[in-house]
Amino acid sequence: MNIAVLASGNGTNFEAIVKAAKRGYIRANIKLLITDKKDAYARTRAKKLGVQDIFINPKDFYSRLEFDKSISSLLKREKINLVVLAGFMRILSPYFVRTFKNRILNIHPALLPAFRGERAIERAFGGGCKATGVTVHFVDESVDHGPIVLQEAIIIKEGETLKELEAKVHKLEHELYPLAIKLYVENRLKIKGRRVAIGC
């Protein structure tokens, strides 16, 4: 199975996924990284890890749809079976989601449906929540909305700083995302409406 990762920033989840594949935990080929930002540090990680790195500039396209069509064509040429979003800071068009229906995974640093959108950790922390967490889900046409694959909570301890909470969330992300991808690759995920059943 060929996997493409789409990222816009630091790329720590991307690196965790690639390393999981290299050690055989995920039995798939992380074939390429696609970024929409020329200076995304994920690109540096890709070079170090030996993964093909492709930058596609959104400014070269007159609409979001044309940008998504360009990526879609590239993924089809590269025979990509699964698209993994790892901090990709663009909302995918309905065209893209329909083209890769039930073949796009995303990770979100909150217990969805709570704190959808940006700055989820900061908003949970600032809102005085007792817990937050991480969610891996399939992507549908709404933001942070698709069927949930895996979800795990993190207790926000009294006196904990935002930086400490962020570190805990990211550590959990690096564990949960490779597991979700592993389950997909092994064909153990079955979508039933809004629910995802995990088989043996």
Last residue of a domain, one of 100, 124, 152: 100
Residue 177: pLDDT over 90:
yes
Residues forming a β-bridge with 162: none
> What is the per-residue pLDDT for 42?
98
The whole-number average pLDDT for the span 167-178 is: 98
> What is the per-residue pLDDT for 142?
87
> What is the per-residue pLDDT for 149?
98
Both tokens assigned to 136: 């891996």
- pLDDT tens digits for range 99-134: 999 999 999 999 999 999 999 999 999 999 999 999
152 & 86 share domain: no
5 & 96 share domain: yes
Band the pLDDT of 190: cuts 50, 70, 90.
very high
Residue 143: pLDDT over 90:
no
149 & 70 share domain: no
Residues forming a β-bridge with 131: 155
Q: How many domains does the structure of the chain reveal?
A: 2
User: Catalytic residue positions?
Assistant: 108
Last residue of a domain, one of 50, 74, 100: 100
Structural domain that includes position 139: 107-200
